A and B are shown apart, each in its own frame.
Chain A
């Protein structure tokens, strides 16, 4: 069985989420990858080097820039004549395009898989991760998205795949890209960081969030995350959100500061290796999952901690 894996990239670097998707696809059989966008030749060459990849398809067309699903999904659906499975990382792009591909193929997608049990059976989280379902697909072709934290990343080197050109119908004329406000940060990316420092509503405002959370994060070389409450209150932008509908993370160390631990937040971080919680309420649910807890006023504790590290 051969899978086609969607390569998430920014016309330069291949995103880590792709590497987890390659590992998941390798459990099903042979792995080919698809790189789409204008000027993606170098990315396709790099993707062919990922361990386990035997072929990289390069769809070099400006219609595929910005991953507009109206243009990209027909490309993939067309290529799927030669494949048994389409596998995408469960990123914003992967979640946007995969179901559109699935419906074009008349396939019921299997979302955010955690494991490959066999060629047609997978586990996936439901109810914000409170129930793990084992599902078996009767569709001839599979369309799958992969939760990045559940699979090891394939090595970026070690493959010796060939590169082949692929083409689709181009611009469907239904949609266009207008613009983006992408957060720029020198800090590590949330989904691939080894350490994450996250802040919650108890920070009270944006100024406090920046002056209390960020110095600690910088001292530890950590990424900065936030609870939904902190994002809703406008302390930080949406891309900081960790949780059921935000980012799913599993770093070595997750430090939750002033976060009570709502189900929706725990769903996004409870697979972290070590969880440290700082909260003034000793009954906060976050302490039920924390390996190390410290009860007290974060406005005293966090600056002291930053100073002593």
Chain B
């Protein structure tokens, strides 16, 4: 079974985002960029399925600017076999990304597509579900366990009340949650090897997909600030505060 893993280049999760003074977006100049953490988990899961002999080939794909090559090289260094970069210097929305992925799914016919459940920049949480709709495939979102059994896949999902397990007919779409696995670090020899793995370059036009945005960002602003309050010296003072607030009798 072939596995397709879409990955996105985003602000590193340790960096505190700063809104630009002119309100047009978040300042990304000279900011560390990394693979979206949920996508790292997706790459790791694909590699584990390959190590178990279930997956035969892992194809990583990214839709974004030229620099997303670095993100794909990271996926290749972790263990993906080849990569496709669909270059767009303007931002592509989840719907546009899903349409491009739909075309790639038609070409590559993967048994599973594993994606991060959301990107930590736009926090949309849409692409996997949209791809499932466009390809008519079942979806197992927010996965904390993925078990392939013959021509179906059992996905345990993190839901509001706990965990839920669904069985999906393959080919299927899976999106990862935090506790699916702990992604490996790429070793130096593997980073070197990744440089010679194939990376194909495409454009949205190659797939005949119109990626004109449907949402216009009117402005971006900082959230209301919370300021630090007071420190109390001991438990008695805290109890007095709680009582004054009516929280404790």
Listed in ascending order, the chain A residues whose CB lies under 8 Å from chain B are 66, 68-70, 73, 91-93, 95-104, 106-112, 121, 125-139, 173-183, 191, 195, 220, 228, 231-232, 237-239, 244-245, 247, 252-253, 263-264, 270, 274-276, 282, 287-295, 301, 304-305, 308-309
Tell me which of B98, B132, B178 contacts A228 (CB under 8 A). B178
Judge whether B204 is part of the interface by a CB distance below 8 angstroms.
no
Q: Are A109 and B126 in contact (CB under 8 A)?
A: yes
Does B199 interact with chain A (Cβ within 8 Å)? Answer: no
With A and B bound together, what is the CA distance between A290 and B25 in angstroms? 28
The chain B residue sitting closest to A91, CB to CB, is B160
Question: Contacts A110-B215, A126-B123, A288-B228 hold; do A239 and B162 have CB atoms under 8 A apart?
Answer: yes
State the B residues within 8 Å of A (CB): 11, 13, 16-17, 19, 25-26, 93-95, 98, 117-118, 120-134, 136-139, 141-142, 144, 154, 157-169, 177-179, 213-223, 226, 228-232, 234-236, 238-239, 241-242, 245, 247-248
A134-B95 in contact given A111-B126, A232-B178 (Cβ < 8 Å) = no
A174 CA to B228 CA, complexed, in Å: 51
Cα A251 to Cα B125 with chains together (Å):
24
Closest-by-CB residue of A relative to B123 is A126
B132–A100 CB distance below 8 A: yes
A187–B84 CA distance with the chains assembled, in angstroms: 49
B214:A137 contact, CB within 8 angstroms: yes
By the criterion CB–CB under 8 Å, are A103 and B98 in contact? yes
Supply 15 A–B pairs (Cβ within 8 Å), ascending by A: A93-B159, A100-B133, A102-B133, A103-B130, A126-B26, A130-B26, A131-B19, A135-B218, A138-B215, A176-B167, A245-B117, A270-B226, A293-B231, A294-B231, A294-B234
Using A96-B141, A121-B218, A274-B245 as known contacts, say yes or no to A109 and B124 having CB atoms under 8 A apart: yes
Per the bound structure, the CA–CA distance linking A55 and B98 in Å amounts to 34
- CB distance A96 to B162 under 8 Å? no
B229 touching A69, Cβ below 8 Å: no
CA distance A232 to B226 in the complex (A): 28
* 12 further interface pairs, Cβ-Cβ under 8 Å (given A68-B166, A100-B139, A106-B95): A91-B160, A92-B160, A103-B98, A108-B93, A128-B17, A134-B220, A137-B215, A178-B154, A180-B162, A244-B123, A289-B226, A294-B238
Q: Given A131-B220, A132-B220, A238-B179, verify A180-B163 contact (CB < 8 Å).
A: yes
Q: What is the chain A residue whose CB lies nearest that of B23?
A: A134
Q: Which residues of B contact A68 (CB under 8 A)?
A: 166
Residues of B within 8 A of A232 (CB): 178-179
Task: Label chain B's interface by main secondary structure.
Answer: mixed
Cβ A95 vs Cβ B163 within 8 A: no
Do A135 and B222 touch across chains, with their CB atoms under 8 A apart? Answer: no
A226 to chain B, nearest CB (A): 13
- List residues of chain B with CB within 8 A of the CB of A289: 226, 228
Measured CA separation A264–B127 after assembly (Å): 21
Q: Which residues of B contact A110 (CB under 8 A)?
A: 215
Known: A126-B123, A174-B137. A305 touches B216 (CB 8 A): no
Contacts of A128 in B (CB 8 A): 17, 120, 123
- Name the CB-closest residue of B to A97: B129
Out of A127, A301, A304, which one reaches B11, CB within 8 Å?
A127
* A73 CA to B216 CA, complexed, in Å: 26
| In contact, B168 and A130 (Cβ under 8 angstroms) | no
**Highest count of chain B CB atoms <10 Å: which of A175, A263, A309:** A175
Contacts of B141 in A (CB 8 A): 69, 95-96
Listed from nearest, the 7 A-B pairs whose CB atoms lie closest are A99-B129, A291-B229, A108-B214, A103-B133, A103-B130, A99-B126, A174-B138
Chain B residues near A292 (CB-CB < 8 A): 229-232, 238, 241
List chain B residues, Cβ under 8 A from A127: 11, 17, 26, 120-121, 123
CA–CA, A70 and B168, complex, Å: 10
Tell whether, in the assembled complex, residue B160 and residue A239 are in contact, meaning their CB atoms are under 8 Å apart: yes
Query: A245 to B177, Cβ gap below 8 A?
Result: yes
Across the interface, do B166 and A294 meet the contact criterion of CB distance under 8 Å? no
